[in-house]
């Protein structure tokens, strides 16, 4: 017998993970995704309408909470400054060599992600829903609470900004 949580994870795990991966650092992604599904399972009695739209609304909220918590920790740490020259951070782990194609693709994705992070929140969400989650314009509009026409305008502007930013980088 499948429980609600099992069905939800089975149907949406990859899409939610891709959405979260585009929005948070790789090392935080697993925790954020777990938090998203935990919140969804806890609040399953609040489900109204489309499950995907409801789940991605939760995902947006949990990702925003993640950044609020991170910012609070960073502010607290900066107020407890360490003496100059003291660094308790461990050295980053060494990574195995990666084939050139994968390295180039990873570099491109990181540059693109940096450009996406500079977009306003609504545009970032539209890009994530459209290209990582494969949601339709109608589904995205429902999640974001905007009309499909407005969504089209937001998507067009976001893609124009990304295209321009990437071309600027290439020509520089």
Same domain (yes/no): 6, 75: yes
Number of Cβ within a 10 Å radius of residue 32: 22
In angstroms, the CA 165 to CA 167 distance is 5
Residue 37 near residue 4, CB atoms below 8 Å: no
Same domain (yes/no): 74, 116: no
All residues at 6 or more sequence positions from 141 whose CB lies less than 8 Å from its CB, including other chains: 147, 148, 150, 151
Same domain (yes/no): 76, 5: yes
Q: What is the pLDDT along the chain (172 residues), one digit of tens a residue?
A: 468 889 999 999 988 888 888 888 888 889 999 999 999 999 898 888 888 888 988 988 898 888 888 776 666 655 554 444 444 455 555 555 556 677 777 788 888 888 888 999 899 989 888 887 777 888 888 888 899 999 999 999 999 999 998 888 877 6
Residue 99 near residue 131, CB atoms below 8 Å: no
Instruction: Name which of 131, 161, 160, 126 is nearest 146 in CA terms.
Output: 126
Residue 35 near residue 66, CB atoms below 8 Å: yes
User: Looking at the 3D structure of the chain, how many domains does it have?
Assistant: 2
Flag whether 94 is in a domain: no
Per-residue pLDDT at 84: 47
Residue 56 near residue 19, CB atoms below 8 Å: yes
Burial class of 59 by CB neighbour count within 10 A (0 to 12, 13 to 18, 19+): buried
Number of Cβ within a 10 Å radius of residue 27: 7
**Model confidence, pTM:** 0.54
Per-residue pLDDT at 147: 93
Same domain (yes/no): 76, 106: no
Domain span at residue 145 reads 102-172
């Amino acid at each position: 017998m499948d429980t609600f949580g099992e069905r939800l994870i089975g149907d949406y795990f990859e899409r939610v993970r891709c959405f979260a991966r585009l929005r948070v650092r790789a090392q935080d992604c697993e925790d954020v995704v777990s938090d998203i599904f935990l919140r969804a399972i806890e609040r399953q009695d609040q489900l109204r309408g489309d499950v995907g739209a409801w789940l991605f609304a939760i995902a947006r909220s949990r990702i925003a909470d993640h950044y609020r918590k991170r910012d609070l920790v960073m502010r607290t740490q900066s107020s407890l400054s360490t003496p100059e020259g003291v660094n308790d951070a461990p050295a980053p782990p060494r990574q195995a060599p990666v084939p050139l194609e994968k390295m180039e693709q990873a570099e491109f994705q990181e540059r693109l992600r940096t450009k996406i992070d500079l977009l306003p929140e609504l545009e970032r969400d539209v890009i994530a829903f459209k290209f990582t989650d494969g949601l339709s314009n109608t589904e995205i509009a429902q999640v974001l609470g905007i009309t499909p026409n407005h969504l089209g305008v937001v998507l067009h502007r976001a893609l124009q900004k990304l295209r321009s930013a990437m071309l600027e980088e290439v020509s520089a």
